Chain A
Amino acid sequence: GQQVMQIPQYQHVQEGEDFTTYCNSSTTLSNIQWYKQRPGGHPVFLIQLVKSGEVKKQKRLTFQFGEAKKNSSLHITATQTTDVGTYFCAGPGGGGATNKLIFGTGTLLAVQP
């Protein structure tokens, strides 16, 4: 079945350092979404990317969708302690019309003040 993998699994940074998580799908995706889950919390939607090569920015966060629409990345510039949490990419599962959103394995970000 379809797999969505993320690397790294865990990243520990000093506050102010940059952070990047990479997402790779075994199949081509029509779109990709990113969610953030704070420790003990629930996933919260961050953004959706649809077009090949698309780049979107939200303040210090930069999201990119690969040209082949099989990979994506999230880059955080100058991390803050509020960035702590697990970042998940998610894409439609299976081919054709689907209402199944498959989450990646996640990257847990720890930020040391």
Chain B
Amino acid sequence: EPEVTQTPSHQVTQMGQEVILRCVPISNHLYFYWYRQILGQKVEFLVSFYNNEISEKSEIFDDQFSVERPDGSNFTLKIRSTKLEDSAMYFCASSEAWFSYNSPLHFGNGTRLTVT
């Protein structure tokens, strides 16, 4: 079964550094998402992306965050200047269609970001 793949699985960075988290969504999917989960807490929406542009974003997704689909397969999340509170598990997800039409989100295994 096709999978969403994320790299790296774990990233350690110093406060103030830039990080790029990478994702390869399922190939025929059109909608892409980033979520984050602070340890033991709920899964929080960051951003959705469709047709090469952001369709929605949360209040968490401020100017320090950006997303890009640099080619036909990768989908990246960049954090420009990391803060301690950015430490979390970041999940990439994709869906074939708009999820309201019975098109579930398929999640990757996540990237654990640790900011020291």
**Residue A43 at the chain B interface, CB threshold 8 Å:** yes
Residues of A within 8 A of B35 (CB): 103
Give the contacting residue for B98; candidates A48, A88, A99; CB below 8 A.
Answer: A99
Residues of B within 8 A of A102 (CB): 45
**Residue B15 at the chain A interface, CB threshold 8 Å:** no
Contact between B110 and A93, CB atoms less than 8 A apart? no
Which residues of chain A from 1 to 49 have a CB within 8 Å of any chain B CB? 30-31, 33, 35, 37, 41-45, 48
Residues of A within 8 A of B102 (CB): 48, 50
Contact between A101 and B45, CB atoms less than 8 A apart? yes
Nearest A residue to B46 via CB reads A100
- Tally of A interface residues using CB under 8 Å: 25
Which residues of chain B from 62 to 80 have a CB within 8 Å of any chain A CB? none
Tally A-B pairs: CB < 8 A. Answer: 57
- Given A43-B107, A45-B104, A48-B104: A98 and B44 interface contact (C-beta under 8 Å): no
Q: How far is the CA of A41 from the CA of B37 in the complex (A)?
A: 11
Q: How far is the CA of A101 from the CA of B56 in the complex (A)?
A: 10
- Given A42-B91, A42-B110, A50-B102: A99 and B55 interface contact (C-beta under 8 Å): yes
Which residues of A approach B to under 8 Å, CB–CB? 30-31, 33, 35, 37, 41-45, 48, 50, 88, 90, 92-93, 98-106
Which residues of B approach A to under 8 Å, CB–CB? 31, 33, 35, 42-45, 48, 50, 55-56, 58, 91, 98-100, 102, 104-110
- List 25 A-B residue pairs with CB atoms under 8 Å apart, sorted by A's residue number: A31-B100, A33-B99, A33-B105, A37-B43, A42-B108, A42-B110, A43-B43, A43-B91, A45-B106, A48-B104, A50-B102, A92-B100, A93-B45, A99-B31, A99-B50, A99-B56, A100-B45, A100-B48, A100-B58, A101-B33, A101-B45, A103-B35, A103-B43, A103-B44, A106-B42
